[in-house]
Amino acid sequence: MEDKLPNSLTKSTNKYSGWGWSLVVLVMMALVATGAAFTLWHWYQKWKSQHHHHTHIHRPPTAVDDEYANALGIAMQFFDVQKSGKLVDNRVTWRGDSGVDDGKEANLDLSKGLYDAGDNMKFGFPMAFTATMLSWVILEYGHHMQEVNQLEYAQDSLKWITDFLINAHPSDNVLYIQVGDPEVDHGCWERPEIMTEARPITQVNVTYPGTEVAAETAAALASASLVFKSINEVYSELLLKHAKQLFNFADTYRGSYSASIPGVQKYYNSSGYGDELLWASAWLYHATGDQSYLTYATVSNGNSFAGWGYPTWFSWNDKLPGVHVLLSRVSFFGSSNIPDAENLGLQKYRKTAEALMCEFLPDSLTATSKRTNGGLLWVSQWNPLQYSLASAFLSVLYSDYMFWSDTSTLYCDGNNYEPMDLRNFAMFQANYVLGSNPMKISYLVGYGNDYPQYIHHRGSSIPVNSNTGCKDGFRWLDSTAPNPNKAVGALVGGPFRDDTFIDSRNNSMQNEATTYNAAFMVGLLSGLLTFSPSQQSFT
Protein backbone atom coordinates (compact mmCIF):
# COMPACT_ATOMS: atom_id res chain seq x y z
CA MET A 1 0.00 0.00 0.00
CA GLU A 2 1.07 3.57 -0.58
CA ASP A 3 3.00 5.31 2.21
CA LYS A 4 1.23 8.60 1.54
CA LEU A 5 -1.84 9.85 -0.21
CA PRO A 6 -1.44 10.74 -3.88
CA ASN A 7 -1.73 14.38 -4.79
CA SER A 8 -5.05 14.35 -6.59
CA LEU A 9 -5.43 18.10 -6.89
CA THR A 10 -8.01 18.73 -9.56
CA LYS A 11 -6.60 20.67 -12.49
CA SER A 12 -8.60 22.46 -15.18
CA THR A 13 -8.27 21.06 -18.68
CA ASN A 14 -6.46 23.16 -21.31
CA LYS A 15 -8.37 21.63 -24.22
CA TYR A 16 -11.66 23.32 -24.95
CA SER A 17 -14.08 21.96 -27.48
CA GLY A 18 -14.06 23.64 -30.88
CA TRP A 19 -17.60 24.94 -30.60
CA GLY A 20 -16.82 26.36 -27.19
CA TRP A 21 -13.95 28.44 -28.56
CA SER A 22 -16.07 29.64 -31.45
CA LEU A 23 -18.85 30.73 -29.13
CA VAL A 24 -16.49 32.69 -26.91
CA VAL A 25 -14.63 34.38 -29.78
CA LEU A 26 -17.76 35.46 -31.68
CA VAL A 27 -19.50 36.88 -28.66
CA MET A 28 -16.35 38.56 -27.40
CA MET A 29 -15.84 40.29 -30.76
CA ALA A 30 -19.40 41.54 -30.68
CA LEU A 31 -19.08 42.89 -27.14
CA VAL A 32 -15.49 44.07 -27.02
CA ALA A 33 -16.45 47.67 -27.69
CA THR A 34 -18.58 47.69 -24.57
CA GLY A 35 -15.92 46.15 -22.35
CA ALA A 36 -18.06 43.09 -21.53
CA ALA A 37 -15.67 40.50 -22.91
CA PHE A 38 -13.79 40.15 -19.65
CA THR A 39 -16.99 39.40 -17.75
CA LEU A 40 -18.15 36.92 -20.39
CA TRP A 41 -14.83 35.08 -20.30
CA HIS A 42 -15.17 34.50 -16.58
CA TRP A 43 -18.78 33.44 -17.05
CA TYR A 44 -17.63 30.84 -19.58
CA GLN A 45 -14.87 29.59 -17.29
CA LYS A 46 -17.42 29.11 -14.51
CA TRP A 47 -19.84 27.38 -16.87
CA LYS A 48 -17.11 25.07 -18.15
CA SER A 49 -15.99 24.07 -14.66
CA GLN A 50 -19.55 23.35 -13.57
CA HIS A 51 -20.80 21.49 -16.63
CA HIS A 52 -17.84 20.16 -18.59
CA HIS A 53 -16.24 18.64 -15.45
CA HIS A 54 -19.38 16.74 -14.36
CA THR A 55 -18.81 14.01 -16.91
CA HIS A 56 -15.24 13.44 -15.75
CA ILE A 57 -15.66 12.66 -12.04
CA HIS A 58 -13.34 9.82 -11.14
CA ARG A 59 -15.41 7.14 -9.40
CA PRO A 60 -14.34 4.17 -7.27
CA PRO A 61 -14.78 0.60 -8.52
CA THR A 62 -18.04 -1.14 -7.68
CA ALA A 63 -16.45 -4.54 -7.00
CA VAL A 64 -16.26 -5.65 -3.37
CA ASP A 65 -12.82 -5.21 -1.81
CA ASP A 66 -11.99 -8.59 -0.29
CA GLU A 67 -9.57 -7.23 2.32
CA TYR A 68 -12.08 -4.70 3.62
CA ALA A 69 -14.76 -7.42 3.59
CA ASN A 70 -12.52 -9.68 5.68
CA ALA A 71 -11.77 -6.87 8.12
CA LEU A 72 -15.47 -5.97 8.40
CA GLY A 73 -16.39 -9.54 9.29
CA ILE A 74 -13.76 -9.46 12.03
CA ALA A 75 -14.71 -6.01 13.38
CA MET A 76 -18.38 -6.98 13.68
CA GLN A 77 -17.54 -9.72 16.19
CA PHE A 78 -16.45 -7.32 18.92
CA PHE A 79 -20.07 -6.52 19.69
CA ASP A 80 -20.55 -10.22 20.49
CA VAL A 81 -17.50 -10.04 22.76
CA GLN A 82 -19.14 -7.18 24.69
CA LYS A 83 -22.69 -8.46 25.05
CA SER A 84 -24.26 -8.67 28.49
CA GLY A 85 -27.25 -10.80 29.42
CA LYS A 86 -28.39 -14.27 28.45
CA LEU A 87 -26.54 -15.06 25.23
CA VAL A 88 -28.15 -17.03 22.42
CA ASP A 89 -26.05 -18.40 19.55
CA ASN A 90 -23.22 -16.03 20.41
CA ARG A 91 -20.31 -16.34 17.98
CA VAL A 92 -17.69 -15.80 20.69
CA THR A 93 -17.44 -19.18 22.37
CA TRP A 94 -15.53 -18.02 25.46
CA ARG A 95 -18.31 -15.64 26.47
CA GLY A 96 -21.23 -16.80 28.62
CA ASP A 97 -24.29 -15.35 30.36
CA SER A 98 -23.61 -12.36 32.60
CA GLY A 99 -25.37 -9.40 34.17
CA VAL A 100 -28.67 -11.27 33.98
CA ASP A 101 -29.95 -9.61 37.17
CA ASP A 102 -29.01 -6.07 36.17
CA GLY A 103 -31.87 -3.68 36.94
CA LYS A 104 -33.87 -6.02 39.17
CA GLU A 105 -33.61 -3.66 42.13
CA ALA A 106 -35.94 -1.33 40.21
CA ASN A 107 -37.99 -4.14 38.67
CA LEU A 108 -36.35 -3.49 35.30
CA ASP A 109 -34.66 -5.81 32.86
CA LEU A 110 -31.33 -4.14 32.13
CA SER A 111 -29.57 -7.41 31.41
CA LYS A 112 -28.82 -6.62 27.78
CA GLY A 113 -26.64 -3.84 26.40
CA LEU A 114 -22.88 -3.88 25.93
CA TYR A 115 -20.00 -3.68 28.36
CA ASP A 116 -18.23 -0.46 27.58
CA ALA A 117 -14.61 -1.46 27.03
CA GLY A 118 -12.18 -3.67 28.93
CA ASP A 119 -14.24 -3.37 32.12
CA ASN A 120 -17.64 -4.72 33.13
CA MET A 121 -19.49 -1.40 33.25
CA LYS A 122 -22.48 -0.34 31.22
CA PHE A 123 -22.21 3.40 30.57
CA GLY A 124 -25.37 4.61 28.85
CA PHE A 125 -23.87 7.70 27.23
CA PRO A 126 -21.22 6.02 25.03
CA MET A 127 -23.42 2.93 24.59
CA ALA A 128 -26.21 5.03 23.08
CA PHE A 129 -23.69 6.72 20.81
CA THR A 130 -22.49 3.30 19.64
CA ALA A 131 -26.10 2.50 18.74
CA THR A 132 -26.52 5.78 16.85
CA MET A 133 -23.35 5.10 14.86
CA LEU A 134 -24.43 1.54 14.06
CA SER A 135 -27.78 2.85 12.86
CA TRP A 136 -26.15 5.48 10.66
CA VAL A 137 -23.84 2.90 9.11
CA ILE A 138 -26.71 0.50 8.40
CA LEU A 139 -28.84 3.27 6.89
CA GLU A 140 -26.07 4.47 4.58
CA TYR A 141 -24.23 1.24 3.85
CA GLY A 142 -26.48 -1.64 4.87
CA HIS A 143 -26.64 -2.75 1.23
CA HIS A 144 -22.85 -3.02 1.27
CA MET A 145 -22.98 -5.07 4.46
CA GLN A 146 -25.62 -7.31 2.93
CA GLU A 147 -23.28 -8.16 0.04
CA VAL A 148 -20.82 -9.74 2.50
CA ASN A 149 -23.41 -11.22 4.89
CA GLN A 150 -22.81 -8.81 7.76
CA LEU A 151 -26.09 -6.87 7.80
CA GLU A 152 -28.03 -9.24 10.07
CA TYR A 153 -25.17 -9.28 12.57
CA ALA A 154 -25.22 -5.47 12.62
CA GLN A 155 -28.98 -5.34 13.10
CA ASP A 156 -28.78 -7.92 15.90
CA SER A 157 -26.04 -5.98 17.72
CA LEU A 158 -28.01 -2.76 17.34
CA LYS A 159 -31.18 -4.32 18.74
CA TRP A 160 -29.20 -5.74 21.67
CA ILE A 161 -28.45 -2.14 22.63
CA THR A 162 -31.84 -0.60 21.83
CA ASP A 163 -33.66 -3.29 23.84
CA PHE A 164 -31.58 -2.14 26.82
CA LEU A 165 -32.21 1.56 26.12
CA ILE A 166 -35.98 1.08 25.90
CA ASN A 167 -36.03 -0.73 29.24
CA ALA A 168 -33.79 1.96 30.74
CA HIS A 169 -36.52 4.52 30.03
CA PRO A 170 -39.42 3.38 32.24
CA SER A 171 -41.22 6.75 32.28
CA ASP A 172 -41.16 9.99 30.32
CA ASN A 173 -38.64 11.86 32.47
CA VAL A 174 -36.56 9.04 33.92
CA LEU A 175 -33.61 7.39 32.18
CA TYR A 176 -31.21 4.90 33.74
CA ILE A 177 -27.79 5.77 32.42
CA GLN A 178 -25.39 3.40 34.21
CA VAL A 179 -25.21 -0.15 35.53
CA GLY A 180 -22.49 -0.89 38.04
CA ASP A 181 -20.31 1.20 40.32
CA PRO A 182 -17.22 2.23 38.34
CA GLU A 183 -15.07 2.58 41.45
CA VAL A 184 -15.96 -0.94 42.58
CA ASP A 185 -15.69 -2.32 39.07
CA HIS A 186 -12.25 -0.84 38.49
CA GLY A 187 -11.15 -2.28 41.81
CA CYS A 188 -11.71 -5.76 40.40
CA TRP A 189 -10.21 -7.80 37.58
CA GLU A 190 -12.69 -10.55 36.83
CA ARG A 191 -14.71 -12.13 34.07
CA PRO A 192 -18.24 -10.69 33.76
CA GLU A 193 -19.67 -14.23 33.99
CA ILE A 194 -18.59 -14.55 37.65
CA MET A 195 -19.27 -11.06 39.02
CA THR A 196 -20.60 -11.12 42.58
CA GLU A 197 -20.36 -7.42 43.49
CA ALA A 198 -23.47 -5.26 43.76
CA ARG A 199 -24.36 -3.56 40.48
CA PRO A 200 -26.29 -0.39 41.38
CA ILE A 201 -28.16 1.50 38.68
CA THR A 202 -28.05 5.27 38.22
CA GLN A 203 -30.73 7.51 36.74
CA VAL A 204 -31.24 11.05 35.50
CA ASN A 205 -34.59 12.72 36.11
CA VAL A 206 -36.20 16.16 36.47
CA THR A 207 -34.33 16.81 39.73
CA TYR A 208 -31.00 15.52 38.44
CA PRO A 209 -31.22 16.13 34.69
CA GLY A 210 -28.91 14.69 32.06
CA THR A 211 -29.57 16.49 28.81
CA GLU A 212 -26.67 15.07 26.82
CA VAL A 213 -27.30 11.42 27.73
CA ALA A 214 -31.07 11.73 27.25
CA ALA A 215 -30.59 13.46 23.89
CA GLU A 216 -28.01 10.92 22.74
CA THR A 217 -30.40 8.12 23.68
CA ALA A 218 -33.12 9.91 21.72
CA ALA A 219 -30.78 10.05 18.71
CA ALA A 220 -30.02 6.34 19.06
CA LEU A 221 -33.66 5.33 19.20
CA ALA A 222 -34.76 7.70 16.42
CA SER A 223 -32.06 6.48 14.04
CA ALA A 224 -32.74 2.85 14.98
CA SER A 225 -36.44 3.36 14.27
CA LEU A 226 -35.45 3.97 10.64
CA VAL A 227 -33.34 0.82 10.57
CA PHE A 228 -36.21 -1.36 11.79
CA LYS A 229 -39.00 0.43 9.94
CA SER A 230 -39.16 -2.15 7.14
CA ILE A 231 -38.24 -5.09 9.39
CA ASN A 232 -40.47 -4.73 12.45
CA GLU A 233 -42.91 -1.83 12.21
CA VAL A 234 -44.24 -2.23 15.75
CA TYR A 235 -40.74 -2.15 17.22
CA SER A 236 -39.83 0.83 15.03
CA GLU A 237 -42.83 2.79 16.32
CA LEU A 238 -41.89 1.92 19.91
CA LEU A 239 -38.36 3.18 19.34
CA LEU A 240 -39.66 6.42 17.89
CA LYS A 241 -42.12 6.93 20.74
CA HIS A 242 -39.29 6.68 23.29
CA ALA A 243 -37.06 8.90 21.17
CA LYS A 244 -39.62 11.71 21.12
CA GLN A 245 -40.21 11.47 24.87
CA LEU A 246 -36.49 11.49 25.62
CA PHE A 247 -35.86 14.48 23.39
CA ASN A 248 -38.61 16.41 25.13
CA PHE A 249 -37.14 15.42 28.52
CA ALA A 250 -33.63 16.45 27.42
CA ASP A 251 -34.75 19.81 26.06
CA THR A 252 -37.26 20.73 28.75
CA TYR A 253 -35.02 19.94 31.73
CA ARG A 254 -31.69 21.17 30.52
CA GLY A 255 -28.71 20.30 32.65
CA SER A 256 -25.50 18.35 32.25
CA TYR A 257 -25.38 14.83 33.58
CA SER A 258 -21.78 15.51 34.61
CA ALA A 259 -23.10 18.10 37.07
CA SER A 260 -26.02 15.96 38.24
CA ILE A 261 -23.87 12.86 38.73
CA PRO A 262 -20.29 13.97 39.47
CA GLY A 263 -19.12 10.36 39.63
CA VAL A 264 -19.23 10.08 35.84
CA GLN A 265 -16.67 12.84 35.38
CA LYS A 266 -13.70 10.46 35.79
CA TYR A 267 -15.02 8.19 33.06
CA TYR A 268 -17.29 9.89 30.51
CA ASN A 269 -17.34 13.54 31.39
CA SER A 270 -19.42 15.67 29.04
CA SER A 271 -18.12 18.92 27.57
CA GLY A 272 -21.66 20.22 27.00
CA TYR A 273 -25.07 19.18 25.77
CA GLY A 274 -25.77 21.53 22.84
CA ASP A 275 -24.30 19.13 20.30
CA GLU A 276 -26.45 16.24 21.53
CA LEU A 277 -29.62 18.34 21.29
CA LEU A 278 -28.84 19.18 17.66
CA TRP A 279 -27.82 15.57 16.94
CA ALA A 280 -31.09 14.25 18.35
CA SER A 281 -33.22 16.81 16.53
CA ALA A 282 -31.46 16.02 13.25
CA TRP A 283 -32.15 12.31 13.65
CA LEU A 284 -35.75 12.95 14.68
CA TYR A 285 -36.19 15.05 11.56
CA HIS A 286 -34.97 12.16 9.42
CA ALA A 287 -37.14 9.68 11.32
CA THR A 288 -40.36 11.71 11.30
CA GLY A 289 -40.16 14.26 8.49
CA ASP A 290 -41.53 16.75 11.03
CA GLN A 291 -40.06 20.10 10.03
CA SER A 292 -40.17 21.43 13.59
CA TYR A 293 -37.12 19.28 14.36
CA LEU A 294 -35.26 20.81 11.42
CA THR A 295 -36.28 24.29 12.54
CA TYR A 296 -34.96 23.43 15.99
CA ALA A 297 -31.51 22.64 14.58
CA THR A 298 -31.26 25.36 11.93
CA VAL A 299 -33.22 28.38 13.16
CA SER A 300 -33.99 28.08 16.87
CA ASN A 301 -30.72 26.65 18.22
CA GLY A 302 -28.19 26.72 15.41
CA ASN A 303 -26.59 29.99 16.42
CA SER A 304 -26.33 28.85 20.03
CA PHE A 305 -25.01 25.32 19.59
CA ALA A 306 -23.87 24.52 16.03
CA GLY A 307 -20.41 26.11 16.04
CA TRP A 308 -20.82 27.14 12.41
CA GLY A 309 -17.51 27.87 10.77
CA TYR A 310 -15.46 26.15 13.48
CA PRO A 311 -15.06 22.42 12.79
CA THR A 312 -14.29 20.10 15.70
CA TRP A 313 -13.43 16.39 16.06
CA PHE A 314 -16.14 13.75 15.96
CA SER A 315 -16.22 11.48 19.03
CA TRP A 316 -18.48 9.98 21.69
CA ASN A 317 -18.35 13.39 23.38
CA ASP A 318 -18.59 15.80 20.43
CA LYS A 319 -21.39 15.13 17.94
CA LEU A 320 -21.15 18.44 16.07
CA PRO A 321 -19.13 17.09 13.11
CA GLY A 322 -21.72 14.34 12.76
CA VAL A 323 -24.51 16.93 12.82
CA HIS A 324 -22.74 19.00 10.14
CA VAL A 325 -22.43 16.01 7.83
CA LEU A 326 -25.88 14.57 8.59
CA LEU A 327 -27.59 17.88 7.83
CA SER A 328 -25.38 18.32 4.77
CA ARG A 329 -27.19 15.23 3.54
CA VAL A 330 -30.42 17.21 3.66
CA SER A 331 -28.73 20.08 1.82
CA PHE A 332 -27.49 17.70 -0.88
CA PHE A 333 -30.68 15.71 -1.40
CA GLY A 334 -33.73 17.10 0.37
CA SER A 335 -33.70 20.88 0.50
CA SER A 336 -36.02 21.72 -2.41
CA ASN A 337 -39.17 22.07 -0.29
CA ILE A 338 -37.57 23.60 2.79
CA PRO A 339 -38.23 27.26 3.73
CA ASP A 340 -35.50 29.85 3.21
CA ALA A 341 -34.61 30.30 6.88
CA GLU A 342 -34.06 26.59 7.41
CA ASN A 343 -32.18 26.32 4.11
CA LEU A 344 -29.84 29.07 5.20
CA GLY A 345 -29.04 27.05 8.31
CA LEU A 346 -28.47 23.94 6.22
CA GLN A 347 -26.02 25.86 4.06
CA LYS A 348 -24.09 26.85 7.19
CA TYR A 349 -23.93 23.23 8.32
CA ARG A 350 -22.71 22.17 4.89
CA LYS A 351 -20.13 24.95 4.74
CA THR A 352 -18.75 23.84 8.10
CA ALA A 353 -18.68 20.22 6.93
CA GLU A 354 -16.72 21.35 3.87
CA ALA A 355 -14.20 23.14 6.09
CA LEU A 356 -13.79 19.93 8.08
CA MET A 357 -13.22 17.92 4.90
CA CYS A 358 -10.52 20.38 3.85
CA GLU A 359 -8.75 19.80 7.17
CA PHE A 360 -8.64 16.08 6.42
CA LEU A 361 -6.98 16.43 3.01
CA PRO A 362 -3.21 16.36 3.67
CA ASP A 363 -2.19 18.64 0.79
CA SER A 364 -4.91 21.22 1.38
CA LEU A 365 -3.75 24.66 2.47
CA THR A 366 -6.04 24.31 5.50
CA ALA A 367 -4.97 20.73 6.33
CA THR A 368 -4.67 19.95 10.01
CA SER A 369 -1.19 19.38 11.36
CA LYS A 370 -2.54 16.77 13.76
CA ARG A 371 -0.93 13.77 12.04
CA THR A 372 1.82 11.30 12.75
CA ASN A 373 4.83 11.06 10.47
CA GLY A 374 3.24 7.87 9.17
CA GLY A 375 0.18 9.84 8.06
CA LEU A 376 -2.37 8.88 10.71
CA LEU A 377 -4.73 11.65 11.79
CA TRP A 378 -3.80 11.95 15.48
CA VAL A 379 -5.72 14.17 17.89
CA SER A 380 -5.27 12.73 21.39
CA GLN A 381 -2.88 10.38 23.17
CA TRP A 382 -5.86 8.66 24.77
CA ASN A 383 -7.59 6.40 22.26
CA PRO A 384 -6.28 8.26 19.21
CA LEU A 385 -7.82 5.86 16.68
CA GLN A 386 -11.29 7.02 17.72
CA TYR A 387 -10.64 10.36 16.02
CA SER A 388 -8.81 8.87 13.04
CA LEU A 389 -11.62 6.45 12.24
CA ALA A 390 -14.42 8.90 13.01
CA SER A 391 -12.85 11.43 10.64
CA ALA A 392 -12.27 8.82 7.95
CA PHE A 393 -15.88 7.63 8.22
CA LEU A 394 -17.20 11.17 7.79
CA SER A 395 -14.89 11.73 4.83
CA VAL A 396 -15.97 8.64 2.91
CA LEU A 397 -19.61 9.47 3.65
CA TYR A 398 -19.21 13.07 2.47
CA SER A 399 -17.38 11.91 -0.65
CA ASP A 400 -20.33 9.63 -1.43
CA TYR A 401 -22.74 12.54 -0.96
CA MET A 402 -20.68 14.38 -3.56
CA PHE A 403 -20.67 11.40 -5.92
CA TRP A 404 -24.39 10.75 -5.55
CA SER A 405 -25.30 14.40 -6.11
CA ASP A 406 -22.85 14.72 -9.04
CA THR A 407 -20.93 17.39 -7.14
CA SER A 408 -17.52 17.36 -8.77
CA THR A 409 -15.53 19.81 -6.69
CA LEU A 410 -14.69 20.60 -3.10
CA TYR A 411 -13.11 24.06 -2.71
CA CYS A 412 -10.40 24.35 -0.08
CA ASP A 413 -8.96 27.85 0.22
CA GLY A 414 -8.79 28.35 -3.53
CA ASN A 415 -7.79 24.81 -4.52
CA ASN A 416 -10.16 22.26 -5.98
CA TYR A 417 -10.48 18.64 -4.85
CA GLU A 418 -12.56 15.74 -6.07
CA PRO A 419 -14.65 13.35 -3.98
CA MET A 420 -12.01 10.68 -4.70
CA ASP A 421 -9.52 12.73 -2.70
CA LEU A 422 -11.71 12.33 0.39
CA ARG A 423 -12.09 8.64 -0.30
CA ASN A 424 -8.31 8.29 -0.69
CA PHE A 425 -7.86 9.93 2.72
CA ALA A 426 -10.34 7.47 4.24
CA MET A 427 -8.60 4.52 2.61
CA PHE A 428 -5.23 5.67 3.91
CA GLN A 429 -6.53 5.84 7.48
CA ALA A 430 -8.15 2.40 7.17
CA ASN A 431 -5.01 0.87 5.67
CA TYR A 432 -2.86 2.38 8.42
CA VAL A 433 -5.07 0.77 11.07
CA LEU A 434 -4.99 -2.57 9.26
CA GLY A 435 -1.19 -2.74 9.13
CA SER A 436 0.21 -0.26 6.63
CA ASN A 437 2.02 1.72 9.33
CA PRO A 438 5.59 2.11 10.64
CA MET A 439 5.02 -0.61 13.28
CA LYS A 440 3.65 -3.02 10.64
CA ILE A 441 0.98 -4.03 13.15
CA SER A 442 -2.77 -4.35 12.71
CA TYR A 443 -4.67 -2.51 15.43
CA LEU A 444 -7.73 -4.71 14.76
CA VAL A 445 -7.48 -7.88 16.83
CA GLY A 446 -7.80 -10.93 14.61
CA TYR A 447 -6.85 -9.20 11.37
CA GLY A 448 -3.50 -9.92 9.74
CA ASN A 449 -0.54 -11.81 11.16
CA ASP A 450 0.53 -9.30 13.80
CA TYR A 451 -1.97 -7.63 16.12
CA PRO A 452 -2.10 -6.83 19.88
CA GLN A 453 -1.91 -9.93 22.09
CA TYR A 454 -2.17 -8.22 25.49
CA ILE A 455 -5.21 -5.97 25.17
CA HIS A 456 -6.55 -4.37 28.35
CA HIS A 457 -9.69 -6.50 28.66
CA ARG A 458 -10.82 -8.56 31.63
CA GLY A 459 -12.72 -11.32 29.86
CA SER A 460 -10.06 -11.74 27.19
CA SER A 461 -7.20 -11.93 29.69
CA ILE A 462 -8.62 -14.50 32.15
CA PRO A 463 -8.85 -18.20 31.23
CA VAL A 464 -12.42 -19.46 31.03
CA ASN A 465 -11.73 -22.25 33.55
CA SER A 466 -10.24 -19.84 36.12
CA ASN A 467 -12.20 -19.40 39.35
CA THR A 468 -10.44 -16.20 40.43
CA GLY A 469 -12.67 -13.47 41.80
CA CYS A 470 -12.48 -9.71 42.24
CA LYS A 471 -9.05 -9.16 43.78
CA ASP A 472 -7.11 -12.33 43.03
CA GLY A 473 -7.95 -11.89 39.35
CA PHE A 474 -5.35 -9.12 39.13
CA ARG A 475 -2.70 -11.76 38.63
CA TRP A 476 -4.05 -12.12 35.11
CA LEU A 477 -3.67 -8.37 34.54
CA ASP A 478 0.00 -8.70 35.50
CA SER A 479 0.61 -11.99 33.68
CA THR A 480 3.31 -12.01 31.00
CA ALA A 481 1.37 -14.55 28.93
CA PRO A 482 -0.72 -13.36 25.96
CA ASN A 483 -4.49 -13.12 26.47
CA PRO A 484 -5.89 -16.66 26.43
CA ASN A 485 -9.19 -15.56 24.83
CA LYS A 486 -9.00 -13.66 21.58
CA ALA A 487 -11.24 -10.59 21.61
CA VAL A 488 -11.87 -10.78 17.87
CA GLY A 489 -12.75 -7.42 16.38
CA ALA A 490 -11.37 -5.34 19.23
CA LEU A 491 -10.04 -2.04 17.89
CA VAL A 492 -7.47 -0.83 20.41
CA GLY A 493 -6.66 2.79 21.25
CA GLY A 494 -3.73 3.07 18.84
CA PRO A 495 -0.25 4.53 18.54
CA PHE A 496 1.55 7.46 20.09
CA ARG A 497 2.26 10.58 18.05
CA ASP A 498 5.57 9.07 16.91
CA ASP A 499 3.73 6.03 15.46
CA THR A 500 4.97 3.70 18.23
CA PHE A 501 2.80 1.29 20.19
CA ILE A 502 3.35 -0.72 23.38
CA ASP A 503 1.42 -3.99 23.50
CA SER A 504 0.95 -4.23 27.27
CA ARG A 505 -2.12 -5.16 29.28
CA ASN A 506 -1.36 -2.34 31.72
CA ASN A 507 -1.26 0.20 28.87
CA SER A 508 -4.94 1.16 28.87
CA MET A 509 -4.10 4.44 27.11
CA GLN A 510 -3.18 2.59 23.92
CA ASN A 511 -4.38 -0.96 24.34
CA GLU A 512 -8.02 -0.83 25.48
CA ALA A 513 -10.83 -1.43 23.02
CA THR A 514 -14.22 0.32 23.11
CA THR A 515 -17.57 -0.32 21.46
CA TYR A 516 -17.65 3.10 19.78
CA ASN A 517 -14.23 2.45 18.24
CA ALA A 518 -15.71 -0.73 16.80
CA ALA A 519 -18.70 1.20 15.45
CA PHE A 520 -16.43 3.70 13.70
CA MET A 521 -14.37 0.86 12.24
CA VAL A 522 -17.48 -0.93 11.00
CA GLY A 523 -18.72 2.32 9.45
CA LEU A 524 -15.46 3.08 7.67
CA LEU A 525 -15.03 -0.44 6.31
CA SER A 526 -18.67 -0.60 5.19
CA GLY A 527 -18.25 2.63 3.27
CA LEU A 528 -15.02 1.51 1.60
CA LEU A 529 -16.19 -2.04 0.93
CA THR A 530 -17.59 -1.14 -2.48
CA PHE A 531 -19.16 1.84 -4.21
CA SER A 532 -22.85 2.58 -4.75
CA PRO A 533 -23.69 4.56 -7.88
CA SER A 534 -26.68 6.25 -6.26
CA GLN A 535 -27.93 7.55 -2.93
CA GLN A 536 -29.70 5.22 -0.51
CA SER A 537 -32.94 6.52 0.99
CA PHE A 538 -33.41 6.47 4.77
CA THR A 539 -37.14 5.79 4.39
How many Å apart are CA 229 and CA 538, to the nearest integer?
A: 10
174 beta partners? 171
Three-state SS string over 464-533 comes to: CCCCCCCCCCHHHHCCCCCCCCCCCCCECCCCCCCCCCCCCCCCHHHHCCCHHHHHHHHHHHHHHCCCCC
Residue 456: active-site member:
yes
How many Å apart are CA 427 and CA 4, to the nearest integer?
A: 11
Find the DSSP H helices in 62-150: 66-75, 78-82, 124-147
How many Å apart are CA 482 and CA 470, to the nearest integer?
A: 20
Q: Are 486 and 445 in contact (CB under 8 A)?
A: yes
Among 169, 324, 456, 457, the active-site one is 456
Q: Indicate the Cα dihedral angle 6, 7, 12, 14, nearest 10°.
A: -80
For 465, other C-beta atoms within 10 Å of its C-beta total: 6
How many degrees, rounded to 5, is the angle at CA 56 between CA 50 and CA 59? 120
Number of H helices, E strands in the chain: 22, 5
For residue 179, give the amino acid letter. Answer: V
Three-state SS string over 259-318 comes to: HHCHHHHHHHCCCCCHHHHHHHHHHHHHHHCCHHHHHHHHHHCHHHHCCCCCCCCCCCCC
Residue 444, helix vs strand vs coil: strand
Q: Are 242 and 303 in contact (CB under 8 A)?
A: no
Q: Are 217 and 239 in contact (CB under 8 A)?
A: no
* Alpha-carbon torsion (155, 157, 158, 159), positive or negative: positive
How many Å apart are CA 508 and CA 512, to the nearest integer?
A: 5
By annotation, the residues acting in catalysis are 456
